[in-house]
Amino acid sequence: MDQSTVDKIQQMEAFQKLTKARSSYNWTMAIIMMAVYFAFILFIAFNPSALATKVATESVISIGILGGFGLIVFSFILTGIYVRRANSEFDGLSNKVKELAK
């Protein structure tokens, strides 16, 4: 792709809208994931005895294990939310840019 085509694409309103929307959404999702992860780490650091509490008296599963599992599940859900929006909104904008670039 030559430089004039790249410049033309970068000047398109649809391309600018796509890059701004994607960047904003990516940062939002990253901040949410980091906040949840660091909250879990801080909870481990400052209250480890609470995480060592067993779920039931006879159980080998502790609150910490459930919290770690919940963190993994949360990350999968966040990924699913991102993929859903990427497939619905971002792909449409991307296809629009491709059509305008032709």
For the record, the structure tokens of 37 come out as 């992860």
Residue for token digits 């859903």? 84
Render each residue's pLDDT in the chain as its tens digit; 102 residues: 678 888 888 888 888 999 999 999 999 999 999 999 999 999 999 999 998 999 998 989 999 999 999 999 999 999 999 999 999 988 888 888 888 887
Dist. CA 16–CA 39, nearest whole Å: 34
Residues 6+ apart with CB under 8 A from 44: 51, 64
Q: pTM for the complete prediction? A: 0.79
